[in-house]
Amino acid sequence: MGHDVVCVDNDELKVAALQGGDTLIFENYLPELLERYRNIKIRFTTDLAEATRNSEAIFIAVGTPQGETGDADLSYVEAVACEIARSITSYKVVVEKSTVPVYTNEWISRTFERNGVSPELFDVVSNPEFLREGTAVSDFLHPDRIVVGANSERAAKVLQTIYRPLTSGEYYSRAASIPGSCSMSEPPPLIVTSTKSAEIIKHASNAFLALKISFINAVSNLCEAADANVQQVALGMGLDRRIGPRFLSPGIGYGGSCFPKDVAAFRSVAEQLGIDFQLLSEIEKINLHQRKRFLKKVRSALWTLREKRIGVLGLAFKGETDDVRDSPATDLVQMLLAEGCTIAAFDPAAMKRAADILPADANLRYADSAYDAARDADALLILTDWKEFSSLDLSKLNKMLRYPIIIDGRNMFDPQVMMKNGFTYLSIGRPTVYPLRDLDATSK
């Protein structure tokens, strides 16, 4: 956007890798952007004091993992706030970017004051982030909205200036801008709210998206029981502009480092505030049930699971990322291994990270390709919605499998096409199809 950025981390190895041009995670556009701006507009350091002194705004973007009772563990936020406080010599805007519960803003301010920083020297602003992994860069630069929670006009102005290239539309007219949905004539809106409202906007948005997913998953189960088609139902619902078509894809439940943790944290916040928000527990319940239901589906297709050879496509928590944190796919692989299956798994990007939690052994092999995962398998499972899986050569896949059975947890294929290609095809919330018999062959 044109700003000078210095990124601080206390992990020396991480900082050294970034300085050397390694992006550390699989994320579209990140390698190109880092290549273009490294040591020009962006640098990496472990020296937080120096970075604080030289910055007008300091974004806190540390992790807020799930604590033992579901609440967010804010110890990293506190540690970094203390360190920033000790380095402040002139006015700074401290920006909460990490996903945090309501009241965190006040706690950060209190931490600053306890560390002897005078209130005129800082403001704490809440600026939640709504990007998704896999499309992080374009989501960030083409947001639906920018939320700035600020209790002081001075601080709000600093954030408005930072985002001006986007809100004025100027960024989108640049030749080197990253493409996306915003444009010069349709720039994103920026809303200024109170700090507490901004904190709640973040948790409520994630919980609402998780609700949409759990809702359609529950509807998909109903469709299965009624022999209806959830894809048609979601289409019919989503065309209502009040509902909208996005985040209505049923599957094996949501995972990742955000929805599970944030729904739990929001539930915990509600409890602490004395609010009976049972809907949040229901969202979680449906989500976990969805994984177990999928395991049942596999069993229903294969009769027994012990010593079955299963091919697995996808280990990441969703397509286009190498992240396996709280991945429904790796969870299911674990469940299948516990049932005595032998698994050959393939993921275009997440196998290295998956191997850290599920090391290869006699029962689990990491395959070289999707076809290799399918080789001699009793069934092939699709657990992550990688775009590239939808363009697999179906007749080749059919030949590789011992039995042409595909159990698709992400509804990647058209059942009619699968039927024509000779598969028994089970998916989510849609009728199971069986191979079209070769009429010539049966009449002989």
Catalytic residue ranges:
258
Does 248 sit near ligand UGA (CB under 6 A)? Answer: yes
Q: Strands 342-346 and 405-408: what pairing?
A: unpaired
From 101, 188, 251, 348, residue interacting with ligand UGA (rule: CB under 6 A): 251
Does 70 sit near ligand UGA (CB under 6 A)? Answer: no
Does 249 sit near ligand UGA (CB under 6 A)? Answer: yes
At 147, is the secondary structure helix, strand, or coil? strand
Does 254 sit near ligand UGA (CB under 6 A)? Answer: yes
Does 188 sit near ligand UGA (CB under 6 A)? Answer: no
Using alpha carbons, list the distances in angstroms from residue 47 to 6, 51, 282, 302, 413.
10, 6, 44, 57, 50
Does 133 sit near ligand UGA (CB under 6 A)? Answer: yes
What DSSP line would sit under 345-405, residue for residue? EE-SS-HHHHHHHS--BTTEEE-SSHHHHHTT-SEEEE-S--GGGGG--HHHHHHHSSS-E
| Radius of gyration of the chain from its Cα atoms, rounded to whole angstroms | 24
Does 366 sit near ligand UGA (CB under 6 A)? Answer: no
Task: Pick between residue 29 and residue 130 the one whose CB is nearest to ligand UGA.
Answer: 130
What is the distance between the alpha carbons of residues 57 and 92, in angstroms, rounded to a whole number?
A: 6
Does 318 sit near ligand UGA (CB under 6 A)? Answer: yes
Does 59 sit near ligand UGA (CB under 6 A)? Answer: no
Does 288 sit near ligand UGA (CB under 6 A)? Answer: no
Q: How far is the CB of 216 from ligand UGA (least distance, A)?
A: 7
Rounded to an integer, what is the distance from CA 176 to the centroid of its chain?
27
Does 203 sit near ligand UGA (CB under 6 A)? Answer: no
Does 214 sit near ligand UGA (CB under 6 A)? Answer: no
Using CB under 6 A, which residues numbered 81 to 120 contact ligand UGA? 99
Question: Which residue matches tokens 């998953």?
Answer: 217
What is the distance between the alpha carbons of residues 333 and 341, in angstroms, rounded to a whole number?
A: 9
From 141, 258, 301, 324, residue interacting with ligand UGA (rule: CB under 6 A): 258
Does 255 sit near ligand UGA (CB under 6 A)? Answer: yes
Residues 294/362, Cβ–Cβ less than 8 Å = no
Can you name the residues that pair with 44 across neighbouring β-strands? 7
Does 129 sit near ligand UGA (CB under 6 A)? Answer: yes
> Taking the chain, what is the end-to-end CA distance rounded to the nearest angstrom?
69
Q: How far is the CB of 228 from ligand UGA (least distance, A)?
A: 18
Options 39-47, 245-253, 269-277, 430-438: segment touching ligand UGA (CB under 6 A)? 245-253
Q: What is the DSSP letter of 120?
A: G
Q: How far is the CB of 245 from ligand UGA (least distance, A)?
A: 9
Does 256 sit near ligand UGA (CB under 6 A)? Answer: yes
Largest CA distance in the chain: 91
Does 209 sit near ligand UGA (CB under 6 A)? Answer: yes
From 49, 131, 392, 419, residue interacting with ligand UGA (rule: CB under 6 A): 131
From 59, 130, 277, 371, residue interacting with ligand UGA (rule: CB under 6 A): 130
Backbone angles phi, psi at 361, to 5 degrees: -155, -165
The crossing angle, in degrees rounded to 10, of helices 195-226 and 278-302 is 30
Task: Pick between residue 155 and residue 209 the one whose CB is nearest to ligand UGA.
Answer: 209
Using alpha carbons, list the distances in angstroms from residue 84 to 52, 109, 132, 151, 278.
7, 12, 28, 20, 38
Q: How far is the CB of 346 from ligand UGA (least distance, A)?
A: 18
The residues of the shown chain that bind ligand UGA, judged by CB under 6 A, are 99, 129-133, 206, 209, 213, 247-249, 251, 254-256, 258-259, 262, 317-318
